[in-house]
Amino acid sequence: MNYPNGKKGTIAKYARNKQSATPNQAFSNRGMTLEEDINETNRYYLETNKAIIHKKPTPVQIVKVNYPKRSAAVITEAYFKQASTTDYNGLYRNKYIDFEAKETKNKTLFPLANIHEHQLTHMHSIIDHGGICFLLIRFTFYQETYLLPAEKLFKHWDDKLKGGRKSIPYEQICLEGYKIPFQYQARIDYLAIIDKLYF
């Protein structure tokens, strides 16, 4: 079986690799970025046939390419074709899933400047069409990851536009969001939260 990252693998091979890892080895990877943890989780979902969720490619317009060797090309100038929407999308239990992932080193709040207006517009469209949309936020200082439903994010964004806070306090995210415990296989098992919220 071939996967989007070009690697071959099977469920049996994945299970063997996981069985050989000790708990200490699995938790030693906690220093990884949120994106790496999500990508590993999505790989596990795909290999166990739980869901099909991928990182969206960023559309880039290549302008200049140098060919230092006949067999190699080096891109020397490129531009983003358009503003990106959100980081990940896919299918789970016949539902469209779409979400953005953000990390912050801030101990007390999540700055709304980390989200762009075109991303909020996109999230609104997903909700309007019956999809599931959310934000995954990692507070790196605490090594805690939270799922914040898009509807909760909209309220804070609207408040900001009316002259309110330009951030969401950490305590508020703890109250309104859903903490995702770190695990051995599905490191950031956000679908377990989705199951509780939507199914």
Binding-site members are 85, 87, 100, 119
Cα atoms in the Cβ-side hemisphere of radius 13 Å centred on 16: 5
Distance from C-alpha of 4 to C-alpha of 88, rounded to nearest angstrom = 14
**Residue 78 has which token pair?**
């490129």
Distance from C-alpha of 141 to C-alpha of 106, rounded to nearest angstrom = 7
The closest of 71, 74, 52 to 63, measured between CA atoms, is 74
Burial of residue 54, with CB atoms counted within 10 A of its CB: 0-12 exposed, 13-18 middle, 19 or more buried: middle
Give the residue numbers of the binding site for Mg(2+).
85, 87, 100, 119
In this structure, the strands spanning 178-179 and 95-104 are unpaired
C-beta of residue 94 within 8 angstroms of C-beta of residue 44: no
In order, the DSSP letters of 98-139 are: EEEEEEE--SSEEEGGGS-HHHHHHHHHHHHTT-EEEEEEEE
